[in-house]
């Protein structure tokens, strides 16, 4: 194990989150909390580790749960 293995970066954090979502069937929000608890990371420090891809998935999840306003979409029912 190298010294670099002990340091967390966006890529490693994203991998941990994706693995947790897949293996534990947790939401992205719950997976982030779970990973933070297991790795003793303060939730307030997570912002610097969240990749744009994870951020997009979190935002979509939050919109689905009505934590954020829905985005306007085109009505495809009329087509």
- The per-residue pLDDT for 2 is 45
What is the model's pTM? Answer: 0.77
Q: Is the pLDDT of residue 79 over 90?
A: no
Inside any domain, residue 78: no
Q: Which domain holds residue 55?
A: 3-64
Inside any domain, residue 30: yes
Mean of the per-residue pLDDT values of the chain: 86
**Cα dihedral: 23, 24, 25, 27 (round 10):** -120
Question: pLDDT confidence of 25, banded at 50, 70, 90?
Answer: very high
Inside any domain, residue 73: no
Q: Provide the b/e sequence for 7-46 (b: ≥16 CB within 10 Å).
A: eeeeeebbebbbebbeeeebbbeebbbbbbeeeebeeeeb
pLDDT tens per residue across span 37-48: 999 999 999 999
Q: Is the pLDDT of residue 66 over 50?
A: yes
């Amino acid at each position: 194990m190298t010294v670099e293995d002990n340091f967390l970066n966006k890529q490693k954090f994203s991998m941990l989150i994706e693995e947790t979502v897949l293996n534990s069937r947790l939401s992205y929000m719950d997976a982030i909390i779970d990973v933070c608890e297991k790795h003793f990371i303060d939730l307030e420090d997570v912002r610097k580790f969240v990749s744009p891809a994870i951020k997009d998935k979190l935002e979509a999840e939050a919109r689905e749960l009505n934590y954020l306003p829905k985005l306007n979409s085109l009505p495809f029912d009329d087509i």
